[in-house]
Amino acid sequence: MSEVVVDVGQRYIKEVNIEIMEAANAGKPIRVVNTLSRHNLGIGLPDGAQISFEGSVGYYCGGLNTGATIEIERNCGWALGEGMSKGLITVGERAGMSCGAAMIGGTIHVKGDAGPRCGVAMKGGNIVVEGKIGYQSGFMAHAGRIIALGGAGESCADALWEGEVWVAGDVDSLGVDVNVVEPAAEEVAEVDAILKPLGLVDSSRNWRKMISGQRLWYFESRDASAWLMI
């Protein structure tokens, strides 16, 4: 099936996204060119859609993804894949702040570093970062896994709920209410199953698994100092 080429340039983004959606609904692969780091590209793409963005994209690319396979050649701005429920998003280089914010399913794969608050308030799914995750990544993650292969910045995993942050490499500092635990063999196997399709399994890694210490789950006035640290 021949691919559809969509040129962004200075066109209205609504017009661009209508063209992308029409091609996706027709089951045609899509290549988006001349992206100019524009914002809000490829929002709400349907299950089964296949789309690639040449160059870099701006904020919210792939937001509300419901099953598309999205590939970004270079960098992306803030909130990549925000609120996505299904599918795969791959970033060839670096992701900006709040990658995967509030996502509930699917996988985001960043081949470079990810900016601050990666996975903030995520409700499910997986974020795999081959480089380093930024300041306060995993903040208030309710579920899902953030897997960083190149270390983590300051205040890592701050105020977690039931999400998990897995880090191979150095961690600049831990956030509030974080426990670092030794993962069980079956948990490592689960992470390897996420990494295997991405070609990233390495049995020599020394994982740090970060989970909530649960001090912040139930507010008590006598422990208010814990909340004031956030």
Quick check: is 25 in a domain? no
Look up the CATH number of the domain holding residue 175: 2.160.20.60
Torsion of CA 159, 136, 90, 201, to 10 degrees: -80
Residue 13 in any domain: the answer is no
SS (H, E, C) 76-111: ECCCCCCCCCEEEEEECCCECCCCCCCCCCCEEEEC
Residue 150 lies in a domain: yes
Structural tokens at position 93: 């280089």
228 pLDDT more than 60: no
Per-residue tokens: 167: 């880090």
Number of compact structural domains in the chain: 1
Q: Which domain holds residue 107?
A: 32-228
Contact 148/206 with Cβ under 8 angstroms?
no
Q: Is residue 4 part of a domain?
A: no
In a domain, 21, yes or no: no
Which amino acid does the sequence have at 154? E
Which residues, other chains included, contact 147 with Cβ-Cβ below 8 Å and sequence gap of 6+? 126, 127, 128, 129, 166, 191, 194, 195
Domain assignment of residue 188, yes or no: yes
Q: What is the pairing mode between strands 86-91 and 107-110?
A: parallel
Structure tokens at 134: 């930024």
Q: Which amino acid is at 127?
A: I
Confidence band for 68, pLDDT divided at 50, 70 and 90: very high
- Residues 157-210 pLDDT 10s: 999 999 999 999 999 999 999 999 999 999 999 999 999 999 999 999 999 999
Residue 93 lies in a domain: yes
Residue 27 lies in a domain: no
In whole angstroms, give the CA distance from residue 23 to residue 11. Answer: 17
Per-residue pLDDT of 117-151, as tens digits, reads 999 999 999 999 999 999 999 999 999 999 999 99
**pTM, full prediction:** 0.94
Q: What's the pLDDT tens digit per position in 11-58?
A: 999 999 999 999 999 999 999 999 999 999 999 999 999 999 999 999
Structural contact between residues 191 and 149, judged by C-beta atoms closer than 8 angstroms: no
